């Protein structure tokens, strides 16, 4: 990536997501789907939700990639049988995002985009929100 600011924010996002996924290592189906409280999210939900959020905000909004409309509520219904598919999806998504971030124009961080829930937001804010969310 040619933009240091993008590199710093993206590296934080990557570290956070990889830490979250590593928390699932060695866990069975019941454990990856365990919710500490009835209205809380499982680690599996958190990992898949973050990827869904990155697809929407980084790939679709910031990088302008065409994606199917996200059904955000579905993120919180996710149930898995194993961590391997999540890890594979993350590795593919990470590569896709990295290749798209390298194509961003120099003004992409200052440019305003329309976020479906946050309204007008700059490219810098998009990456900062994802980094904070991670």
In tens, the pLDDT along 14-45 reads 999 999 999 999 999 999 999 999 889 999 99
Contact 109, 123 (CB under 8 A): yes
Which residue bears the tokens 């440019």?
111
CA distances, 55 to each of 27, 28, 29, 35, 58 (Å): 26, 27, 25, 24, 6
Grade residue 74 by pLDDT with cuts at 50, 70 and 90. confident
Strand pairing report for 119-122 and 112-115 = antiparallel
Number of domains forming the structure of the chain: 1
Grade residue 1 by pLDDT with cuts at 50, 70 and 90. low
Domain that holds residue 77: 4-133
How many percent of the chain have pLDDT more than 90? 77
Here the CATH number for the domain that contains residue 62 is: 1.20.120.450
Tens-place pLDDT, residues 81-124: 999 999 999 999 999 999 999 999 889 999 999 988 889 999 99
């Amino acid at each position: 990536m040619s933009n240091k600011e993008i590199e710093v924010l993206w590296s934080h996002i990557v570290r956070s997501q990889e830490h979250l996924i590593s928390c699932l290592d060695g866990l069975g189906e019941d454990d990856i789907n365990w919710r500490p409280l009835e209205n809380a999210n499982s680690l599996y939900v958190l990992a898949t939700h973050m990827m869904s959020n990155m697809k929407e905000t980084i790939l679709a909004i910031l990088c302008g990639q065409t994606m199917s409309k996200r059904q955000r509520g579905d993120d919180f219904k996710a149930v898995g049988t194993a961590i391997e598919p999540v890890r594979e999806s993350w590795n593919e998504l990470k590569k896709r995002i990295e290749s798209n971030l390298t194509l961003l124009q120099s003004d992409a961080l200052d440019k305003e985009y329309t976020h479906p829930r946050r309204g007008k937001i700059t490219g810098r804010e998009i990456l900062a929100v994802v980094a904070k969310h991670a």
